[in-house]
């Protein structure tokens, strides 16, 4: 039988910061993890793949308001605030760092079911960390494993198993700014059937003016063992989101009024308030400035995912999996001067076979599979009218069409000797994007209609090779060369660099080739350390930025860029109950070849950005925690931790004139886990946490801002123009206290 020995378990411990244990015990602890992970990857933990597992123990006694607060424990990951309270942008090694909302360039799964739609977009609104038992972060180009949009890697959220819940858990978190999260988790494992059901309702006023929200999430995972060789697994997710949105500020506005207080009405608004110009009649002509509160900006979205998977084990040990997922998002998003309205139903089907066997007489794991995905594109854009409640005005654009992807993946993992394993992987994918964009321009109330058609075909190949060396129980060494690719999204093709609807049809596939070298070291069970170095070469990298307030974000290809860095993660348990953890990322990204063309009036100018830092990427990122939990005696179950998060400053423009400021945040947590004597309850968990202990003002999200030139001379405008450019910044929350109680029955 194929085996990766204890190196896999040691890697899981060091990279995932699992509880301290011997190598053999770590293997046992990893068994459950492997059972979950195998559904998205052709091997349990792909040899050479840099992967971090964040165990539930890291966030079981903390607010875990959003996925961003959990993923900070993984090196290589950076988080930025998106358009909504729990809409966070996840960046792995800089991929997706420049996107204004949601997640792109990273494949996202839940319990092995894809929640990235075929157009490449994932949202984190539908995820509530209270439902999860762990999160797996695959870092680096991974299209040989996961196909399109995996230039940065992948994330798999794992709900808590029914056997782990074994009953019912009810909890409530509450805190400053009217925040309340009530949730219920139920699960059980029977002889043939296992289920885990989660529901939560979250609401709050938000720390920024006009940031109130409420969202409801339902999440069900269930499996039924038909026979000893057949298993069915079902998945259902539904999320309803209603939130008001503040207007993103310029850096100057942020410094004056970070939480946008006194911004109810544009006339007489406090300094630093953002406004948006709306057509008075909803069509054209005169405009009026409105604050977010006046206009009623926000999002009203629904996302539903339903999936099923059948697994069959043949007598010889081969495993055959077939999986189907239906995924639909329905949006109403008046986020600025216009409102996006539409639905995107989609489906994905894949089937694959994994066989333990031999290759040239050596033990090997063979994998081969095929897949197909399809999305029906339906989107319209309307002007927002003044008067409140995001009143819809004239239709300004519509996009209808489809996108499909199909292909195959193959993989050989070979045991070369007692300590050596090798991997060869290959992914092939064919995509077609077909859409019609129709724009409506008004001088009065009668539109001038212009239609633009796009049909693009893409064929991408993703090879991969890796070596995995485990000389003993203390060391694991790995090296990997891999590739990733991603095609444009339909909306990218129809927004010009001026930020308006038009022809942007020349976008090409972005691709990257990455080299990973890493080592995990566990000299004793109480000390775990891992390091990874990466160097990635991008071609035609997608970069998205804003041309100004009230305009649409546009995307372009940067011909050549390089991403390189180092990731460190460690855990030390000097004595029972005390744990120190550290996660550090160095990320250096530069344009190697990119000439930016800017225009203003009759002036045109070109600027060579080669050698400049790519905007949106934090060079240094540090998370550290010191925790203590009393494990025995009268105070058993009492614990706490203090944690620190440092985010370095980063450029927000291609000319590297302006940087978003760095910041350091501290959180302080005290928690108590106690058994309940008598009654139906098993135990209870109570916590109190002070977040942003030092009350630091900081930028939680800053979108890229385009540079500009003088309409008179053609010279590049100075940094003052970037500092005054709106549509970029959201401030993070000030100091707040959150308390929570969870009771298990």
Pairing of strands 106-110, 153-159: parallel
What string of H, E and C letters represents the secondary structure of 694-712?
CCCCCEEEECCECCCECCC
Q: How many helices (H) and strands (E) does the chain have?
A: 8, 37
Would you state the pLDDT for residue 36? 34
Note the maximum CA span of the chain: 81
Residue 323 and residue 307 in contact, taking contact as beta carbons nearer than 8 Å: yes
**pLDDT number for residue 504:** 85
Range of lowest pLDDT (9-23, 204-218, 483-497, 707-721): 9-23
Calpha distance 370→293 (Å, rounded): 49
CA–CA distance, 42 with 48 (Å, rounded to integer): 14
Specify the CATH number for the domain of residue 729.
2.40.170.20
Which residue range forms the structural domain that includes residue 526? 5-744
Stretch 292-308: mean pLDDT, rounded? Answer: 95
The whole-angstrom separation of Cα 513 and Cα 484 is 7
What percent of the chain is predicted at pLDDT more than 70? 93
328/119 Cα distance (integer angstroms): 12
pLDDT tens figures, 606-627: 999 999 999 999 999 999 999 9
Span 226-234, average pLDDT? 95
> By C-alpha distance, which of 225, 232, 171 is closest to 198?
171
- For residue 548, the model assigns a pLDDT of 60
Asked if pLDDT for residue 424 goes beyond 90, the answer is yes
* Plot region of 742 (φ>0 → left; ψ -120 to 50 → alpha; else → beta): beta
Cα 509 to chain centroid, rounded: 21
From the list 554, 555, 491, 552, the residue with the least C-alpha distance to 342 is 491
512-554 confidence digits (pLDDT tens)? 999 999 999 999 999 999 999 999 999 998 877 766 656 677 8
Q: Which residue has the tokens 């775990």?
A: 528
CB 731 within 8 A of CB 701: no
pLDDT tens, residue by residue, 134-167? 999 999 999 999 999 999 999 999 999 999 999 9
Question: Does the pLDDT at position 186 exceed 80?
Answer: yes
Reading the block at residue 581, the tokens are 């953890």
* Per-residue b or e along 129-167, where b marks 16 or more CB atoms closer than 10 Å to that residue's CB: bbbbbbbbbbbbbbbbbbbbbbbbbbbbbbbbbbeebee
State yes or no: pLDDT of 39 exceeds 60.
no
Question: Cβ(212)–Cβ(206) under 8 Å?
Answer: yes
Confidence label for 33 from pLDDT (cuts 50, 70 and 90): very low
Query: Is the per-residue pLDDT at 38 higher than 70?
Result: no
Task: Write b or e for each residue in 653-679: b if 16 or more Cβ atoms lie within 10 A of its Cβ, otherwise e.
Answer: bbbbbbbbeebebebebebbbeeeeee
Question: CA–CA separation, 637 vs 635, rounded Å?
Answer: 6
Judged by DSSP in three states, 523 sits in strand
Q: What is the pLDDT of residue 46?
A: 62
pTM: 0.90
Q: Is 31 left (phi over 0), alpha (psi -120 to 50) or beta?
A: alpha
pLDDT at 598: 84
Give the per-residue pLDDT at 23: 31
pLDDT of 98 higher than 90? no
pLDDT, position 546 = 66
Q: pLDDT at position 391, please?
A: 94
**pLDDT tens digit sequence for 623-671:** 999 999 999 998 999 999 999 999 999 999 999 999 999 999 999 999 9
Taking residues 451-470, what's their average pLDDT? 94
Q: How far is the C-alpha of 231 from the C-alpha of 195, rounded, in Å?
A: 13
Structural domains of the chain, count: 1
Tell me what pLDDT residue 183 has: 96
Residue where the block lists tokens 């489809």:
402
Q: Are strands 527-545 and 554-572 parallel, antiparallel or unpaired?
A: antiparallel
Mean pLDDT of the chain, nearest integer? 89
pLDDT at residue number 620: 96
pLDDT digits (tens, 9 = 90+) for 52-71: 889 888 899 999 888 888 89
Rounded to whole angstroms, how far apart are CA atoms 335 and 276?
A: 10
pLDDT at 695 over 60: yes
């Amino acid at each position: 039988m194929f085996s990766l020995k204890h190196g896999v378990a040691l890697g899981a411990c060091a990279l995932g910061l699992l509880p301290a244990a011997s190598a053999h015990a770590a293997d046992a602890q990893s068994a459950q993890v492997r059972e979950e992970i195998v559904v998205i990857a052709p091997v349990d933990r792909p040899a050479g793949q840099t992967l971090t597992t964040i165990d539930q123990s890291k966030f079981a006694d903390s607010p875990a308001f959003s996925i961003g607060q959990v993923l900070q424990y993984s090196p290589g990951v950076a988080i930025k605030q998106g358009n909504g309270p729990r809409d966070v942008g996840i960046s792995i090694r800089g991929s997706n760092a420049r996107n204004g909302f949601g997640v792109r360039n990273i494949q996202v799964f839940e319990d092995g079911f894809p929640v990235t739609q075929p157009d490449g977009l994932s949202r984190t609104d539908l995820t509530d960390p209270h439902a999860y038992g762990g999160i797996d972060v695959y870092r680096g180009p991974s299209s040989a494993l996961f196909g399109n949009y995996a230039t940065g890697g992948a994330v798999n959220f794992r709900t808590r198993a029914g056997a782990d819940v074994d009953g019912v858990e009810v909890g409530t978190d509450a805190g400053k700014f009217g925040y309340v999260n009530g949730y219920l988790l139920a699960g059980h494992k029977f002889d043939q059937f296992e289920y885990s059901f989660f529901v939560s309702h979250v609401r709050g006023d938000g720390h920024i003016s006009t940031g109130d929200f409420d969202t409801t999430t339902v999440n069900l995972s269930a499996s039924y063992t038909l026979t000893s060789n057949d298993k069915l697994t079902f998945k259902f997710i539904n999320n309803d989101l209603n939130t008001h949105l503040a207007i993103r500020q310029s850096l100057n506005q942020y410094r004056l009024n970070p939480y946008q207080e006194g911004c109810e009405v544009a006339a007489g608004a406090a300094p630093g308030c953002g406004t948006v110009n709306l057509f008075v009649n909803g069509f054209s002509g005169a405009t009026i400035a409105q604050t977010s509160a006046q206009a009623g900006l926000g999002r009203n979205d629904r996302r539903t995912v339903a999936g099923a998977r059948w697994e069959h084990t043949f007598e010889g040990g081969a495993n055959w999996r077939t999986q189907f997922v239906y995924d639909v998002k329905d949006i109403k998003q008046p986020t600025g001067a216009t409102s996006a309205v539409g639905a995107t139903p989609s489906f994905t089907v894949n089937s694959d076979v994994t066989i333990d066997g031999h290759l040239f007489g050596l033990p090997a794991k063979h994998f081969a599979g095929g897949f197909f995905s399809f999305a029906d594109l339906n989107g319209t854009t309307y002007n927002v009218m003044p008067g409140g409640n995001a009143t819809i005005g004239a239709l300004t654009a519509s996009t209808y069409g489809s996108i499909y992807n199909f292909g195959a993946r193959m993989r050989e993992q070979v045991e070369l000797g007692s300590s050596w394993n090798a991997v060869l992987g290959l992914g092939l994918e064919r995509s077609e994007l077909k859409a019609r964009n129709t724009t409506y321009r008004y001088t009065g109330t009668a539109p001038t209609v212009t239609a633009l058609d796009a049909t693009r075909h893409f064929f991408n190949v993703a090879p991969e090779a890796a070596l995995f060396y485990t000389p003993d129980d203390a060391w694991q060494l790995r090296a990997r060369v891999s590739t990733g690719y991603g095609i444009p999204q339909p909306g990218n093709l129809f927004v010009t660099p001026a930020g308006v609807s038009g022809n942007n049809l020349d976008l090409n596939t972005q691709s990257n080739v990455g080299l990973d070298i890493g080592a995990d070291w566990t000299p004793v069970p109480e000390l775990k350390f891992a390091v990874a170095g990466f160097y990635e070469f991008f071609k035609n990298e997608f970069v998205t930025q804003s041309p100004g307030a009230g305009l649409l974000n546009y995307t372009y290809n940067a011909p050549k860029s390089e991403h390189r860095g180092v990731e460190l993660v460690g855990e030390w348990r000097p004595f029972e109950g005390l744990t120190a953890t550290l996660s550090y990322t160095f990320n250096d990204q530069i344009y190697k070849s990119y000439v930016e063309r800017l225009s203003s009036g009759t002036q045109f100018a070109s600027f060579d950005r080669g050698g400049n830092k790519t905007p949106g990427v934090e060079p240094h990122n540090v998370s550290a925690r010191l925790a203590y939990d009393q494990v025995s005696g009268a105070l058993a179950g009492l614990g706490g931790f203090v944690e620190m998060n440092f985010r370095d400053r980063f450029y927000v423009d291609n000319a590297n004139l302006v940087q978003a400021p760095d910041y350091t945040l501290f959180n302080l947590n005290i928690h108590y886990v106690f058994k309940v004597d008598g009654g139906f309850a098993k135990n209870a968990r109570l916590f109190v946490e002070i977040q942003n202990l030092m009350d630091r003002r900081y930028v939680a999200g800053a979108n890229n801002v385009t540079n500009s030139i003088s309409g008179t001379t053609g010279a590049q405008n100075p940094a003052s123009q970037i500092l005054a450019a709106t549509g970029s910044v959201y401030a993070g929350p000030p100091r707040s206290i959150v308390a929570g109680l969870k009771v298990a029955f």
